[in-house]
Amino acid sequence: MSSILVNEDLFADSSFFAQRHRLDELIDLFKFSERRILLGEGALANLGDECQRLGTARALLVCDPGLDRLAAEVRGALGATRIELVGEYDGVVRNPTVESVAACAGAIADAGCDVVIALGGGSTLDTAKAAACVATTGASIDAYWGFDLIPEPARYPVIAMPTTAGTGSEASRVSVIADSDGKKAVYSDYLQPRVALVDPLLQRTLPPLLTAVTGLDALGHALECTASKKSHALADAVAREAMQAGAAAFVGAIDNGVEDGAARYGMARCALLAGLLLSPINTGAGHALGYGIEKISYERGNPVPHGAAVALVLPGVMRHNAPVAADKYYYAAGVAGLDLKDKSREDGAELAAAWIDNLRRRYTPYTSLRAVGLEEGDIPRMVELAMSVRRLLDPNPVEVFPEDAEAIYRGIFD
């Protein structure tokens, strides 16, 4: 078993954080005094200890449907402990809704549990986080759209165990939930899992396409957080750690994810570190424009996965941002192994944008808007949808006007 890194130990090898005052700032930024982050192969074995550390004894497992083997591993990890597994709930839906959160909240309230173990991808983790709060307050999650409106901490602490390396939900204070109008977000410290238990072994059988799509989301988080108006030197250092891990691991995790433990670890680290940034920094126009694609493709019955939607527009957004963020993208090009000899910062930014575009085209079928069943006539509505997501557009380093969004969409139509 490899060593398990906990909280600030994640950055033990970083020269930037070798200075104590920077490490103290990082501990404060990520609120490590209020939660625990564990990363490493075999981290699942710590599940019982983490439940006991929280002072809990009765667990409800909330998991993706179809994760029978991994759910059995969770049962095994708890079997030798004093923690009782009082039930399992697998009614999670892809792209969780107000109604699906309410159903999960009912299961939590009825289970007699005192801790929720969330096992799965971003939809499961977002569902469990939101449902634990709703089960506590008795309100519907749509009462809390926006920032810091949940009035009290959940009575059911959440231990998040991701089975994908993408959303970073295991480390963030946000849940993305859909109502009849589309996806919306709830932000609150009370949504933040008390424990993120990130074991790359839980991700090793993730199929290649899902590995690619979720991995593109993780890389997108790092690229958008580092370019954000809200970013700063400390956040940049974390984003660079995430990009370095993900760039080195992306292809290996897709091509040989079952055997290549180093690649799975690298992608898990990338998603986790980028996920940590989502709370203090957040993403930008790539995620806002990606929403336009997700919404309309979902209505057509052929939904484009979140990571693919973001990766479709992200190269255009990076080119749009390059006048002020070229140095950030230049670094990404370097860790991606691209040839920067005699290249300017602007050249490096273009190489980084092309790199993301090429990864999406090579490893996913989501090559263009036309390829995913969208039409030129959809572009005006995609623009309208994207421009409504001010929480992501406002921190983008270069203002995005409707004509800019239209140009980005038209650039990926074919």
Domains identified in the chain and CATH numbers: 5-203 (3.40.50.1970), 208-411 (1.20.1090.10)
Tens-level pLDDT at each residue, the chain (414 residues): 469 999 999 999 999 999 999 999 999 999 999 999 999 999 999 999 999 999 999 999 999 888 999 999 999 999 989 999 999 999 999 899 999 999 999 999 999 999 999 999 999 999 999 999 999 999 999 999 999 999 999 999 999 999 999 999 999 999 999 998 888 999 999 999 999 999 999 999 999 999 999 999 999 999 999 999 999 999 999 999 999 999 999 999 999 999 999 999 999 999 999 999 999 999 999 999 999 999 999 999 999 999 999 999 999 999 999 999 999 999 999 999 999 999 999 999 999 999 999 999 999 999 999 999 999 999 999 999 999 999 999 999 999 999 999 999 999 999
Whole-model pTM: value is 0.96
Distance CA 112, CA 126 (A): 21
